[in-house]
Amino acid sequence: DTGVSQDPRHKITKRGQNVTFRCDPISEHNRLYWYRQTLGQGPEFLTYFQNEAQLEKSRLLSDRFSAERPKGSFSTLEIQRTEQGDSAMYLCASSYQAGGEQYFGPGTRLTVT
Amino acid sequence: SQQGEEDPQALSIQEGENATMNCSYKTSINNLQWYRQNSGRGLVHLILIRSNEREKHSGRLRVTLDTSKKSSSLLITASRAADTASYFCALSGNTPLVFGKGTRLSVIA
């Protein structure tokens, strides 16, 4: 399977702990996106990369969130000092063209207790 | 808001019927995309229509775009139970994709 993969699929953590998620995009895609989705809402843009460069971050993204794509391949999203409001599905997507169709991974469901 | 707004929020139809959902927006766009999300397959791209296109077909899907009215519609013909999902429009402009809240479609067998 050469689709977008995410790990872990589920994460339960206690408030105040740090968590890190990984995304492996489709290998030919140089653009990688992170979204957050809560129940009954559409995906909300967090940040995106073109190769290893982080080109845009949502203004809604707090300083507790950081993302990297060190070699322009896989990406990690870290949330420090998690809060209950961080509970959501975190989706990763990749694309070949800017503004083109995006291919989504299965998501990582985060529950903060 | 830059996001599209889907209408209706929820739709329930019988198998074999057609389903139409709409998306309205306020900003300029380069293209508009429709995605489907169900529990089994996650979020999947359905169709992309560029701002200079008025209609596009893909299998049982028909999408229209009216840039003067800033609206788009997605028609699913001869619906099947497997079409049960949430459908989102996503706007592509100068910023990364902006998704609406979606239309929840239930197709009853």
The pLDDT tens digits of the residues spanning B17-65 come to 999 999 999 988 999 999 999 976 789 999 999 999 999 999 999 999 9
Query: Which residue on chain B is closest to A40 by alpha carbon?
Result: B101
Closest Cα in chain A to B99: A42
- For B1-109, strand residue ranges (E) read 5-7, 10-14, 19-24, 31-38, 42-50, 55-58, 61-66, 71-76, 85-92, 98-99, 103-108
Residues of chain A found within 8 Å of residue B31, distances taken between Cβ atoms: 99
Q: Taking residues B78-93, report their average pLDDT.
A: 95
Q: Which residues contact A59 (CB under 8 A, 6 or more apart)?
A: none
Among residues B107, B4, B41, the alpha carbon closest in space to that of A41 is found at: B4
pLDDT of B3 reads: 81
* % of chain A at pLDDT higher than 70: 99
Contacts of B101 in chain A (CB under 8 A): 40-42
Is residue B94 over pLDDT 80? no
**Surface of B (90-109) touching A: CB under 8 A:** 90, 92-93, 95-102
Cα A78 from Cα A73, distance rounded (Å): 17
| CB spacing of A106 vs B98 below 8 angstroms | no
Q: Is 90 exceeded by the pLDDT of residue A2?
A: no
B25 — contact with chain A (CB < 8 Å)? no
> Nearest to residue A23, comparing CAs of A82, A112, A103, A113?
A103
Query: Residue B100: is it exposed, middle or buried by C-beta count within 10 angstroms (0-12/13-18/19+)?
Result: buried
Neighbouring-strand partners of residue B12: B106
Q: Which two tokens stand for residue A80?
A: 């420090």
- What is the model's pLDDT at position A63? 93
Residue identified by tokens 């559409």 is: A42
Provide the pLDDT for residue B1: 54
Mean pLDDT, rounded, for A12-23 = 98
**pLDDT at residue A1 is higher than 60:** no
Say yes or no for a CB contact (<8 Å) between A42 and B3.
yes
- Residue B39 is predicted with a pLDDT of 79
Report d(CA A112, CA A4) in Å as an integer: 25
Tens of pLDDT, residue by residue over A62-103, are 899 999 999 889 999 999 999 999 999 999 999 988 888 999
Q: Average model confidence (pLDDT) for chain A?
A: 94
